[in-house]
Structure 1
Amino acid sequence: MLPLYVDISGKRIVVFGGGTIAERKLQQIFETNGGGGALNVEVYSLDFTPFIEEMNEKGEIRCFQCDLWDRNLGELIKGAFLVLVCTDDETLNGRILKETAKYDALVNYKHAGDVFMSSVVNKGGFLISVSTSGKGPAMARYMKTKILSLIGDKEEKMLLIQSNLRGYLKGKIKEEGRRREILNLVLEDPECWAALDEPVEVAEKLIFKIVSDKYA
């Protein structure tokens, strides 16, 4: 498996099913989209959870109430970038998978698809995916909780300062290798981490001074 982060802004996403599985996947899509562009999501099902109905009412997604057994699945799938198969009818899911294979679309469905949605940590500017490749979903959730506990106020501040420091160093040091080395030295410097006890604006000034005095 190759972990990738994909910009899905504007790309057509088709969801078959409107139950709790579809709801969970939609929540993850919208939570991880962050500051990305508008999403183009269509949901086809006989019924929808209240959460999905609310998203439809807000205009965040478009819901189409229908019996999928009576629809031309190819017409719904054609032009999709990603297809999420989330119905509770295994026979229907098999039919959707077979039809999706005829088109140039990624498909997510248990372990039969070619795209898997892992457990995701989205906190303080960090976006981290955790997967066990289906071996232990409970373990993936456990590790997500562990990783979340490692991201605190200081880590969030340091990420912001590192981003600004990169720009500062680009204007001061030509050699990329040396810039990378300094960024790593900052992360290993107890004095820099101690500065993060201050408000972020003050901490940034202190860390920039440390860098200027010791490394640059």
Structure 2
Amino acid sequence: MIPLLHDFSNATVLVFGGGPVGARKARRFSREADVVVVSPAFVADFDDLESAGPRSDGDDCHGSTDADAIGTVHRVRAAPDPDDIDGWLKRTDPALVVAATDDGQLNEAIVEAARDRDVLVNRADRSGGRDPGSVVVPATIRDDPVVVAVATGGTAPALSKHLRQELEESIDGAGEVARLCDTLRTELRSRNASPAQRREVVSRVASSSEVWTTLRSGDSNRQQVIEDVLGQGKERDDGMGGDRQ
């Protein structure tokens, strides 16, 4: 499998299953997508998502926003049969389908219906070998806009979790460094720095333990660090010019 990042903004993710796994998947994708969860019952974990509450099959799919998400989570109280799955896909037009029920036959029908419609599918009750078009949801560490994902191909979720915990401390502050690099690149471009100069300066900043420590401590703001970096670069250029003279 080849890891990719997918933007689910303005997209729908259809989850079948109202258990703990379904709730976990719903929380994950509600960071960006509108999530529709179909199940005859829902565990209490869904209450924490502040969804619109259980809905009947006939209700439309509009609800309130999850407090920690950009998208929404909508619960639809229904017990679909395998023959009903294609209708749900047609109705919701999802970018991704999650099969997270405790019924293997139903999960298989979900996978087949998604494959028939060329929709990505994540089957939560199976590890190891994957069918074409299947998706594995990795363990993720976020310090926005930085995202680091760890996956074992679905074979060892416990290992993914362990590695995620190991990496959490390492990337602490990475988001602020990324924003610094973006602002610095813009500033250098406005000063007509060449692409090679921009790459050199930004690479040096991204790998500077001093910059990381400064931003993590909060002693200096981003603009102060940029001014320091540009000032150091000017001094170095001036010094080289003096040597050439």
TM-score with structure 1 length normalisation? 0.84
How far the C-alpha of 1:161 sits from its partner, in A, is 1.6
Match runs of 1:13-92 below 5 Å:
13-31=13-31, 33=32, 39-53=33-47, 54-57=50-53, 59=64, 60-69=72-81, 72-78=84-90, 79-92=93-106
For the residues of structure 2 that align with 1:86 and 1:116, how far apart are their CA atoms? 13
Percent identity of equivalent pairs:
22
**Is residue 205 from structure 1 mapped to residue 227 from structure 2 by the alignment?**
yes
Over alpha carbons, which structure has the higher Rg?
Answer: 2
**Letter matched to residue 101 of structure 1:** R
State the shift of 1:173 in Å: 3.5
Residue number in structure 2 paired with 1:167: 186
Alpha carbons 1:195, 1:206 under 8 Å: kept: no
- How far did residue 12 of structure 1 move? 2.1
1:144, distance to aligned residue in structure 2 (A): 0.7
- Indicate conservation of the 8 Å contact 1:119/1:141, yes or no: yes
Read off the aligned partner of 1:24 and give its amino acid letter: R
| AA in 1 matched with 2:88 | L
1:215 & 1:82 partners in 2: Cα distance?
A: 52
Between stretches 183-192 and 62-71, larger displacement belongs to 183-192
* Aligned positions of 1:151-162 closer than 5 A: 151-153=171-173, 155-162=174-181
SS in 2 for 1:142: helix
Q: Distance in 2 between matches of 1:176 and 1:47?
A: 57
* Whole-angstrom distance in 1 between the partners of 2:227 and 2:169: 27
Deviation, structure 1 residue 192: 4.4
Question: Deviations 1:168-187 (Å, cap 9, x if unpaired)?
Answer: 11122353233112211223
Task: Quickly say closer, same or farther: Cα 1:212–1:52, change in 2 above 3 A.
Answer: farther
Provide the aligned C-alpha RMSD in A: 2.5
Partner of residue 201 from structure 2, selected from 173, 182, 194: 182
SS at match of 1:55: coil
AA matched with 2:153: S
**Cα distance in structure 2, aligned partners of 1:193 and 1:107:** 39
Deviations 1:42-101 (A, max 9, x none): 111001122324323462222211111286211101222210000011121112222222
Give unmatched runs, 5+ long, in structure 1: 34-38
Pair 1:150-2:170 in alignment? yes
| Residues in 2 aligned to 1:132 and 1:215: alpha-carbon distance in whole angstroms | 47
Q: Structure 2: give runs of 5+ residues left out of the alignment.
A: 54-62, 65-71, 239-245
SS in 2 for 1:129: strand
Q: Distance in 2 between matches of 1:138 and 1:203?
A: 39
Is contact 1:182–1:215 with CA below 8 Å preserved after alignment? Answer: no
- What is the one-letter code of the residue matched to 2:44? P
CA gap 1:11/1:156 in 2 versus in 1, 3 angstroms: closer
- Segment of structure 1 superposing worse, 84-93 or 47-56: 47-56
TM-score under structure 2 length normalisation: 0.75
Query: Distance between the aligned counterparts of 1:194 and 1:40, measured in 2?
Result: 38
Inter-partner Cα distance in structure 2 for 1:215 and 1:135:
53
